[in-house]
Structure 1
Amino acid sequence: MPESLPVITDPPVDHSDVVTWVQSLGGPVWIELSGVDNDRCRVITTLLHGNEPSGILALHRWLAERPQPQTRLAVLVANVAAALAPPHFTQRIAPGGRDLNRCFRPPYEDASGMLAEAITHDIMARAPECVIDLHNTSGNGPSFAVATHCDPCIERLAGRFCDKLIVTDFRLGSLMELPFAFPLLSRCPMFTLECGGALQPAAVEVAGAVYRKLAEWPSVTDLSPNPALEVLAHPLRVELKPGVRIAYAHAPQHGAQVTLWSRIDAYNRGVTSPEVCLGWLGEGGLANLQARDARGEERIRQLLCERDGKLYPRRPLRLFMATTNAEIARSDCLFYAVPY
């Protein structure tokens, strides 16, 4: 059985800057606040990626208010090593590690896997009423939630923080997939909340609202639904094929097989029409890209097309998580897309 992570219970107010405070934590840690009813627990996880700091910034600010939650509130500060790798809050993965939010499934053989296993054990031991995993989007854009299945409780919870819920059938080893693997969590509403871009002040406000509301609500099961919540199902991940070179610019770049528009994250809002040029394709054309669904079937030509060396949507699309970070594009994906 994995060893539990350290716990800091009812921490005193820390008036240092957030980096100094994170350094003082010493590594992955649970910050646990006593509640009016300590027999119940709610969980928030943050900083699974070191370059997604809105959750930790909001936590540091909120703890200064000396909150007393309705229930016990356990907050995980996860990937401290990645967050503190210089420059601070710019590294997604700890040096020498793997993407922590791809490690929540066996084998747990390396340091990242063992940390994910310990987090899983700790969450199950708390038998939480809900788990909300805070992230930042890899490009600028509005907040949205991601879940692995349709669930009315998830919709009511997510609808308090955003107007869009993505229901994905991809299984990547993320934390929000734990209810599928562990029956003890099967009835626990668990989802990811993408608070917005890491540099957007509004993203810290979204994360702050999660702490405040989960602390204030007497119950998470009797919330009223958000009638404006839009539920989008079965997104496709648009990825580079192995070895393909990418650039971001205002014109096609020499040596790049795919050049995306430098502000492609502007299309993380609304519907992108087939007339919008997303970028330029070099040698190999559309064959440089792939978009396999959860069953492994290639769907790229249903989403995108090439005209005169330029990349366009084949049909109106809802894009999200479109990034302008070439490293994330290579290691993860260019963007997600849902036909509109």
Structure 2
Amino acid sequence: RCFKEPFDDEPGYLAAEILETLKRYKPESLIDMHNTSGSGPSFAVAIYEDPQHDALTELFTKRLIVTHLRLGALMEVTEYLCPTVTIECGGRLDESAHQIAWEGLNRYFRLESVLAGQESQESLEVLTNPVRLELKDDCRLRYGEKLSEESDLCLLPSIEQLNSGITVKDTQLGWVATDDLKAVFSSKNSREECVVNELVYIKDGGLFAKRDLKLFMITNNPEIAKMDCLFYAVRDCGSEVVA
């Protein structure tokens, strides 16, 4: 799933082979399909927004995230070949995710032109430059109803529910064993500003949302949360979080 060089191991060899195949066949467009580890609604991700990327997105979903982040995704290295979007169909255990994938692929293969766009009564929601709330390497994470002696951060077991809708200001996310946010979290926006204090705050040991936010990619899998991030976030209006 990582298409960054160097391609010097088995996953790297496969990534290089996929890229060479794409160069050879020169597709009209490219869909990179995934599901998320946590339950949540579908969305698309692209590094550009224009009518072609909008059209590809709307074959599957009505939410497009336009990101500045460069993490080695396929779309980052194939845009020079053709319009590319990543489709997150929903949670891996969500039955609706399978339906979204199936219906979207049917539209993709049956339409005469997938880049022209189709008439729709529902407008496309565009979210711009999400930030990642990441954990410091030495943070001990658990999910539950309270901190334990073996944890620095405890998140609510129901936190995945915040993948849908708006997480309103002062919503509790969990508990923290310190009053120093930056000892536990890190987060930077596209301007390289630290925005941890714009996302969360600590009060009486509890961890709360600092403002109204739209959150996504929340997982209750501690290994994924530590290896990747706790969540992605934009402001409730869909714009980037700034300091």
Q: CA deviation at 1:295?
A: 4.5
Cα deviation 1:58-110 (Å, max 9, x = unaligned): xxxxxxxxxxxxxxxxxxxxxxxxxxxxxxxxxxxxxxxxxxx2x31211111
1:27 maps to what in 2? none
2:212 maps to what in 1? 316
How many aligned residue pairs are there?
A: 234
2:187 maps to what in 1? 291
- Correspondence 1:279 to 2:174: yes
Q: CA deviation at 1:225?
A: 5.3
Q: CA deviation at 1:284?
A: 5.4
Q: Sort the Cα spacing of 1:281 and 1:234 in 2 relative to 1 into closer, same or farther, 3 A.
A: same
Whether contact under 8 Å (1:245, 1:257) holds in the other structure is yes
Q: CA deviation at 1:297?
A: 2.9
1:249 maps to what in 2? 144
Whether contact under 8 Å (2:40, 2:163) holds in the other structure is yes
Rounded to whole Å, the distance in 1 between the matches of 2:108 and 2:25 is 16
Which of 25, 46, 51 is the equivalent residue of 1:126? 25
Q: CA deviation at 1:118?
A: 0.9
Rounded to whole Å, the distance in 2 between the matches of 1:294 and 1:126 is 34
Taking structure 2 as the reference length, the TM-score comes to: 0.91
Q: Does the residue aligned with 1:125 lie in a helix, a strand or coil?
A: helix
Cα deviation 1:254-294 (Å, max 9, x = unaligned): 32111111111100010001121001111354120111224
- Correspondence 1:158 to 2:60: no
Rounded to whole Å, the distance in 2 between the matches of 1:245 and 1:152 is 44
Within 5 A, what are the aligned runs for 1:235-246? 235-246=130-141
Whether contact under 8 Å (2:63, 2:126) holds in the other structure is yes
Residue identity in the other structure for 2:211: R
Residue identity in the other structure for 1:231: V
Rounded to whole Å, the distance in 2 between the matches of 1:258 and 1:275 is 17
2:239 maps to what in 1? none
- Correspondence 1:202 to 2:66: no
Taking structure 1 as the reference length, the TM-score comes to: 0.66
1:190 maps to what in 2? 84
Identical-residue share of aligned pairs (%): 40
Asked which structure has the greater CA Rg, the reply is 1
Which of 118, 124, 137 is the equivalent residue of 2:36? 137
2:241 maps to what in 1? none
Whether contact under 8 Å (1:155, 1:225) holds in the other structure is no
Structure 1 unaligned regions, length at least 5: 1-100
1:171 maps to what in 2? 70
Q: What's the RMSD between the two structures over aligned residues?
A: 1.4
Whether contact under 8 Å (1:303, 1:339) holds in the other structure is no
Residue identity in the other structure for 1:329: A
**Which stretch of structure 1 is more off in the superposition, 154-163 or 188-197?**
154-163
Cα deviation 1:143-193 (Å, max 9, x = unaligned): 11111111211112212311211111000111111135xx4x1xx110111
Cα deviation 1:4-58 (Å, max 9, x = unaligned): xxxxxxxxxxxxxxxxxxxxxxxxxxxxxxxxxxxxxxxxxxxxxxxxxxxxxxx
Rounded to whole Å, the distance in 2 between the matches of 1:193 and 1:205 is 13
Rounded to whole Å, the distance in 1 between the matches of 2:168 and 2:191 is 27
Q: CA deviation at 1:299?
A: 1.1
Whether contact under 8 Å (1:246, 1:326) holds in the other structure is yes
Residue identity in the other structure for 1:292: K
Which of 306, 313, 326 is the equivalent residue of 2:202? 306
Q: Does the residue aligned with 1:337 lie in a helix, a strand or coil?
A: strand
Rounded to whole Å, the distance in 2 between the matches of 1:222 and 1:174 is 25
Whether contact under 8 Å (1:257, 1:284) holds in the other structure is no
Rounded to whole Å, the distance in 2 between the matches of 1:315 and 1:284 is 18
Q: Does the residue aligned with 1:328 lie in a helix, a strand or coil?
A: helix
Which of 287, 304, 329 is the equivalent residue of 2:225? 329
Q: Does the residue aligned with 1:302 lie in a helix, a strand or coil?
A: helix
